[in-house]
Chain A
Amino acid sequence: MSEYAIEFQDVHLAFGAQKVLDGVSFGVYPGETKILMGGSGTGKSTVLKLVLGLLKPDSGRIIVDNEDITDFSESQLIARRQKIGMIFQEGALFDSLSVYENVGYRLFEQGAEEEEIEEAVRRMLRFVNLEDAINKMPAELSGGMRRRVGIARALVGNPKIILYDEPTAGLDPPTARAICELAIKLRDLEGVSSLFVTHRIQDAVTLADYHATIGDDGEVAIVKNPRGGTGSSTKFVMLRHGKVMLEGEADVFWNSSDPYIRTFLELD
């Protein structure tokens, strides 16, 4: 079986005449975070939707958690999606439900006990620093707050795979940093595998250069990786023109001589 948590094998997808993915192959190892980059409209959100089975590829295989989901029916997929959390680019909050009901949605659907839901929701909202907003409706929130509620909602239920679609876009630097640290903690302490779509170089640097440990005092600490360390659990993949343009560890990107990548990473 696949050694990857998520694997794309020669995936093709076109919307009408527009070819979006034209033979994309890559893999995400268990416990690894793969940063997915690429210009606007290159199909990053599309890749995340394919992982969830929200879209079906025209050809190629998609393997998630050792199962080839490409030909799964919707009801088979629904069962598989329980272990995947997705943070949508635009939040995609249910606007007829309160923040509390949004965040606890998965647990409500599973018919969990009210106290259990309340506790989980409050814990997640504290994570994203929004406990005060618990009784608000999505329409009363700012864009950044909506995004954070979306993050909290995706994380309830401890998914083993998390798909982040630009979780830090349009957020203030401290909040963006907090979200990256959250992703680091989930990666290093919970063994979560993830695809992380971002345009912000700062996010990529943070995710690649830091790791989380539990110190002697039992506190979680985010510490900088030693210089020149190998085997980082953060990898990069760059999409361009429907194909994987470059894939590998951070160094491969920082040392790239390709002008497109250099402008993308703001190196020139």
Chain B
Amino acid sequence: MNFFLDLLIELQESALLVWRAVRHPFRRPVYWRETVTQMDSIGFGTLPIVLLAGFFIGAVLALQTAGTLRSFGAQNYTGRLVATSLLRELGPVLTCILLAGRAGSGIAAELGAMCVSEQVDAMRALGTDPFRKLVRPRLLALLTMAPILTVFANVVGIIGGLIVSITLLQIPSSVYLSSAREALNYDDIWGTFLKTGVFGLIVAVVGCRCGLRTRGGTVGVGHSTTTSVVVSIVLILVSDFFLTRLILTLSGTA
């Protein structure tokens, strides 16, 4: 019972956090500079690992599926399978799990350290709203960077699959690419953006919330950081199921 009560309180606090961060969007100061800094550090900071992960996921997908497809004589569909898997599932989920591990944890640690060293209190004492100055830039950065990074992961993943197809599977690049292009349809594309938007929101809210509720010195900061990663990843995986269901229903394929 207590657990559910805590859960409800946490949900309410998270909703309140988002509300406090986004209301009065144009009241001064707007903190554009902080927003750009966060976009830069979250976007460019996570890009290398997203590219690396995307490439190898695409490559291994091609490697794994080609064998099965060959037994049906459908090896020419490798490109389509790689692209669809990336676009629908692996791209958004993997990118956002990486974001949770790299950006979300960083947010929780930074805000947590600011909390325990009274910097958040000092900020409030100096007349700044921490929700506007600290939370909003991180929220905006993740909401924009999650979809952008996912697009990068998908493109690089398709290239990874292409390279494996040409070199190891002897599938001509034109066959691979034209089959991959068939995977690109309207439903999958808006589905990707819906998913990454929700996942980005999860990473930002969980990171900020874990950071700002930090108590108990350095140990508390470590705890907040770990919690933020675990909670974000669990929420991403669970919400992915329901989002997939929703997208399939709306696009009429379920």
Residues of chain A whose beta carbon lies under 8 Å from any beta carbon of chain B: 49, 52, 54, 74-75, 77-79, 81-82, 84, 86, 88, 90, 92-95, 105-106, 109, 111, 153
9-residue interface stretch from B122-130, B150-158, B236-244: B122-130
Given contacts A78-B128, A81-B126, 15 further A-B pairs with CB under 8 A are A52-B124, A54-B125, A74-B20, A74-B124, A74-B129, A78-B129, A81-B125, A86-B122, A88-B125, A90-B118, A93-B119, A94-B123, A95-B119, A109-B29, A153-B126
Given contacts A74-B129, A75-B129, A109-B29, contact A90 B117 (CB under 8 A): yes
Known: A90-B117, A92-B117. A109 touches B122 (CB 8 A): no
Interface members, chain B 1-33 (any A CB < 8 Å): 20, 28-29
Shortest Cβ distance from B23 into A: residue: A75
B121: chain A residues within 8 A (beta carbon):
49, 54, 88, 92
Please give, as numbers and ranges, the residues of chain B lying within 8 Å of A95 by CB-CB distance.
117, 119
Q: Do A84 and B125 contact each other (CB < 8 Å), given the known contacts A92-B117, A92-B118, A111-B29?
A: yes
Q: How far, in angstroms, from A72 to B127 measured CA to CA in the complex?
A: 14
- The smallest beta-carbon distance between B25 and chain A, in angstroms, is 14
B119 touches A106 (CB 8 A): no
CA distance A88 to B122 in the complex (A): 8
* Residue of A77, A92, A93 with highest tally of chain B CB at under 10 A: A92
Q: In whole angstroms, how far apart are the Cα atoms of A52 and B118 in the complex?
A: 14
Chain B residues positioned under 8 Å from A79 (CB to CB): 127
Q: Are B117 and A78 in contact (CB under 8 A)?
A: no
Is the Cβ of A94 less than 8 Å from the Cβ of B124?
Answer: no
| For the complex of A and B, 9 pairs with smallest distance between CB atoms | A92-B122, A92-B118, A86-B125, A81-B127, A82-B127, A78-B127, A54-B121, A106-B126, A52-B125
Count of A-B residue pairs with CB < 8 Å:
53
Q: Which residues of A contact B118 (CB under 8 A)?
A: 88, 90, 92
A123 to chain B, nearest CB (A): 18
A93 contacts across to B, CB distance below 8 A: 119, 122
Q: Which residue of B lies closest to A150 (CB)?
A: B122
Min CB–CB distance A202 → chain B (angstroms) = 26
Question: A78's closest neighbor in chain B, by CB?
Answer: B127
Contact A109 B128 (CB under 8 A): yes
Q: With A54-B124, A94-B122 given, is the CB distance from A111 to B129 under 8 Å?
A: no
- Give 6 pairs: A residue, B residue, CB < 8 Å, sorted on A: A52-B124, A92-B119, A92-B122, A95-B119, A109-B126, A153-B126
- When distances are taken between beta carbons in the complex, the residues of chain B under 8 Å from A84 are 125
Q: Which residue, of B117, B124, B126, has the highest number of chain A Cβ atoms within 10 A?
A: B126
Q: Is the CB of B127 within 8 A of A109?
A: yes
Say yes or no: A105 contacts B126, CB within 8 Å: yes
What is the minimal beta-carbon distance from B211 to any residue of chain A, in angstroms?
14
- Min CB–CB distance B22 → chain A (angstroms): 14
Contact A106 B127 (CB under 8 A): yes
CB of A232, distance to nearest CB on chain B (Å): 28
Render B117-146 as a binary contact track against A, CB cut-off 8 A, 1 for contact: 111011111111100000000000000000
Contacts of A153 in B (CB 8 A): 126
Interface positions of B from 83 to 115, Cβ below 8 Å from A: 114
Minimum Cβ distance to chain A for residue B36 (Å): 15
Most buried by A among B28, B29, B122, B128: B122
Bound: A109/B133 CA distance, A: 10
Given contact pairs A74-B129, A111-B28, A111-B29, A81 touches B124 in the complex (Cβ within 8 A):
yes
Task: Kindly report which residue of chain A lies nearest to residue B131, judged by CB atoms.
Answer: A74
A105 to chain B, nearest CB (A): 6
CA–CA, A106 to B133, complex, Å?
A: 13
Closest B residue to A77 using CB positions: B124
* Residue of A with least CB distance to B118: A92
